[in-house]
Structure 1
Amino acid sequence: MPIRETTAAGEPVWTDLSSSDIEKTKAFYTGLFGWTYDEAAPEEYGGYISARLNGQLVAGLSPHHPEFGGVPNVWGLYLKSDDIDETADAVGAAGGQVLAPPMHVDPYGHMAILSDAGGAAIGAWQPQTHEGFGVDAEHGAPAWFELHTKDFAAAVPFYERAFGWKTAVMGDTDEFRYSTLGEGDDARAGIMDASSYLPAEVPSFWITYWGADDVDATAAKAVELGGKVVTEPEDTPYGRMATVEDSTGATFKLIGVAD
């Protein structure tokens, strides 16, 4: 299992799911990936639950609360910050917005919820005792993170300015416009121009790819567990992939990680 030792500032450090049915969500991901769960955090932290893969932290589950109304079931992403207040200031200067200002989640770390220059929600996390993912690029672990943005021209410089990304161009045509954080094997996340296919009512968004030893079998298992296959498994230049909804409707992607 590839243990993640460190995460550089600006890189994806954590992902969590806002869920309307925590028990249903837990059962789905246990059945799909074999996750186990820590005891729920105290009520002042919203009953937040950390998920583990073979003992390593891998994701969080956050229960919906009535005061939030019809919040969708969705996976969210956090980028690492070395100074949460400086990050919040940089986000504003780069054309984004601070949706939830920096707060101390003692003793785990500091967080803020932000919006990038293209309107996609993104979190920032400054770790203390909670360092983020303990494992990646493994079956049941996060393997890639991708922004589908309606404003590619604004999004790329936003992440360069707000989070210090050094980006590389993977494609620059109307059919495929894509940049990455880092390059080649060192790439950690991607930004895709989604202006040609996202419906007007769908905002820009981040999506998490989860590793799968067998994408086809894992997608089929998701259906058995009450989920749905949105895009059938297919071979791509970057591996075999599929798009899936879990048993509460939260969308994610699978990507092959078998040797």
Structure 2
Amino acid sequence: MTTQQVPWSPGTACWADITVPDLDRATGFYGPLLGWRFETGGPETGGYTQAFVGDRKVVGLTEPMGEDPAPPAAWCVYLATDDLAATAERAEQLGGRTLLGPIDVMGFGSMALLTDPTEAVVGLWSGGSHIGWEVVDEPGAVVWTEHMSHDQARALAFYDGLFGYDVTDLSAPDFDYASVAVDGETVRSGIGGYGPGAGAQVPAAWTVYFQVPVADDAAARVTELGGTVVSPPEDTPYGRMVLVKGPFGEVFALMEPPAEQPPTGTPPA
């Protein structure tokens, strides 16, 4: 368990949020599944809702603003930066494309959204009064984030160029994968490549892993609450994992920790 009270180091996965077409349905799914309670901001925030484990922030949820049709629901991972403008500019130099920002978010911090060279969407966050998630590595909290694409080398070069990661190659036959760290400290992120069985139509994306006490129980609960199990629970060296979809088709993973914790900075898959 880690409780965070100061801004996360640059390059660290520090927040995730999702835009959904029906907030009540989303909270009715994620609340019972992960033990979250919710607080919704006032009109000035557009009704942005935050989920908490106890009194610590975990993620954000919101409905689309305005009359534009909502994009497909998907969890967006934000990486911390202490110089948003410079990081966003560097991202474009490395082949990324800015979708939004940089913009100030009412003193909470500042943000930008971009696509990386593999077309995965990722956020950048420079914390103000809001540092990002305040707890990791306990039930209901994020335990890992993962970027997967059809060009692992290109993705890794982009993010390493952006943040100067310490890279640990964990590749195996037909499986390209690296974990990344900052100054020897895990950022709870891995960058991998899809295997031969993944179709070319599978898009590059970041995936969020939430910790659960028992993966099999959580998988059954996903179905009961209106989600879908994509891959049934399976044991890995890093815990028992299940890949699922939420009620709007959003993909995420649930992870039961192993009896003995793996070395820091190693991936769950």
Q: TM-score, normalised by structure 2?
A: 0.89
**Is 1:192 paired with 2:183?**
no
SS at match of 1:107: coil
Instruction: Give unpaired runs (5+ residues) of structure 2.
Output: 260-269
Higher mean displacement: 184-193 or 228-237: 184-193
Q: Which amino acid aligns with 1:52?
A: F
Give the equivalent residue in structure 2 for 1:77. Answer: 77
What does residue range 96-245 of structure 1 map to in structure 2 within 5 Å? 96-173=96-173, 175-182=174-181, 186=186, 188-194=188-194, 196-245=196-245
Report sequence identity in percent.
Answer: 35
Cα shift readout 1:72-93 (whole Å, capped 9, x = no counterpart): 1111100001011001111011
Give the whole-Å Cα distance in 2 for the aligned partners of 1:199 and 1:172. 20
Q: Is the CA contact 1:151–1:193 (under 8 Å) kept in the aligned structure 2?
A: yes
- 2:238 corresponds to which letter in structure 1? Y
After superposing the two structures, state which structure 1 stretch, 44-53 or 229-238, moved more.
44-53
Letter in 1 for 2:256: G
1:1-12 → structure 2 map (5 Å cutoff): 1-6=1-6, 7-12=8-13
2:175–2:194 CA contact under 8 A, matched in 1: no
State which drifts further: 193-202 or 69-78: 193-202
**How many residues are paired up?**
257
Q: Is the 8 A contact 1:213 1:258 kept in 2?
A: no
Q: What SS is found at the alignment partner of 1:222?
A: helix
CA distance in structure 1 between the aligned counterparts of 2:187 and 2:25, rounded to whole angstroms: 34
Question: Could you say which residue in structure 1 is the equivalent of 2:264?
Answer: none
- Give the aligned residue type for 1:113: L
Paired residues of 1:214 and 1:258 also in contact (CA < 8 A) = no
Higher alpha-carbon deviation: 63-72 or 134-143: 63-72
Residues 19 and 25 in structure 1, CA contact (< 8 A), matched pair in contact too: yes
Instruction: Answer whether contact 1:48 1:60 (CA < 8 A) is retained.
Output: yes
Letter in 1 for 2:169: V
Aligned to 2:20: 19
* Residues 136-177 of structure 1, C-alpha deviations (whole Å, 9 max, x = no match): 11111001000011221211110011123221101153x111
Cα displacement (A) at 1:129:
0.4
2:5/2:131 contact within 8 Å kept: no
Label 1:170 to 1:239 Cα distance change in 2 as closer, same or farther (>3 A): same
Q: Secondary structure at the match of 1:188?
A: strand
Whether contact under 8 Å (1:209, 1:254) holds in the other structure is yes
Aligned residue for 1:196, secondary structure, equals: coil
Deviation at 1:5, TM superposition (A): 4.0
TM-score w.r.t. length of structure 1: 0.93
For 2:180, give the aligned amino acid: L
Shift of 1:21: 0.9
Contact 2:36 2:52 in 1 (8 A): yes
- In 1, Cα distance between the equivalents of 2:206 and 2:258? 24
Q: Supply the distance in 1 between the matched residues of 2:137 and 2:144 (Cα, whole angstroms).
A: 8
